[in-house]
Amino acid sequence: MEMQNKKSILKIDHLSVNYGYVRALVDESIEVKQDEIVTLIGSNGAGKTTTLMAVSGLVKKAAGTIIYKSQDITSMPPDKLVKLGIAHVPEGRKIFPQLSVYENLIAGSLGNPKMSKQDVKEQMEYVYQLFPRLKERYRQAGGSLSGGEQQMLAIGRGLMMKPDLIMLDEPSMGLAPKIVEGIFELILKIRDTGKTVLLIEQNASMALSIADRGYVLETGHIRMTGTGQELLTNDDVKKTYLGQ
Ligand code: ATP
């Protein structure tokens, strides 16, 4: 019931994306409301990354609209979307390996030229509070961090843009189970600081267990949607995505 009253922050409406002859997304509709964690699960090639790229203005849309906080952003370029408060943390933790943790975070804030020096300072404090590990290692080269720490840095860099919506592409990829748990706990913490999260994951059980709602994507089509709990206990989801 509570969900009904929440404001819509992102609305993907009947979106289609093609790569040449490949129909990557077909008539996809997804809604994300304020302060929610929404997860998009699906196998390899289902269209998860393409969805985030479409929201970030990185791929051409064949049909459909994307509305962010009542504004039509369907054809907006990426730099404008950052200024509106949308951060995208891509798959594979693309941090700058030669730069220090501190410099990587500063680089994140440069994505949003609307930020004042004071804003940058505040965001840095916020990120260090969420990830004390990064504060301890602020002078260390990004490339010398552990896999989990690099993921924290990639997320921290996204948060430096002071986003309202943060989109995370497979944050658990390639990490040991114990580290993955820590990352998912952090995602909950980020939401609790007033951010809205759109999370893409192959680790469906972890993602659904922290998500308010989820969507199941299959070869570019939304097949199912429900609360995280509903999907976790759904027989088809269990069989196909949870290996149960
Ligand atoms: P994964 O979990 O493997 O990253 P995904 O769900 O994120 O998969 P996408 O990367 O969005 O899937 O890909 C959706 C479909 O579009 C796939 O069939 C993929 O092969 C195709 N595709 C993605 N990028 C391109 C591209 N640049 N050119 C052609 N086809 C592409």
Q: Is residue 2 predicted with pLDDT exceeding 90? A: no
User: 49 in ligand 1 pocket by Cβ < 6 Å?
Assistant: yes
pLDDT for position 221: 96
User: 47 in ligand 1 pocket by Cβ < 6 Å?
Assistant: yes
Please report, for residues 30, 49, 135, 222, the alpha-carbon distance to residue 13 in angstroms, rounded to integers and kept in the order given.
7, 17, 40, 12
What number does the ligand 1 atom closest to the CA of 53 have?
A: 11
User: 203 in ligand 1 pocket by Cβ < 6 Å?
Assistant: no
pLDDT for position 60: 95
168-201 per-position pLDDT tens digit: 999 998 888 888 999 999 999 999 999 999 999 9
Q: Residue 20 — pLDDT band, cuts 50, 70, 90? A: very high
Q: Does domain 1-85+164-244 have CATH number 3.40.50.300?
A: yes
Domain boundaries, the chain: 1-85+164-244, 88-162
Atom 25 of ligand 1, nearest CA residue: 19
What number does the ligand 1 atom closest to the CA of 50 have?
A: 11
pLDDT for position 4: 58
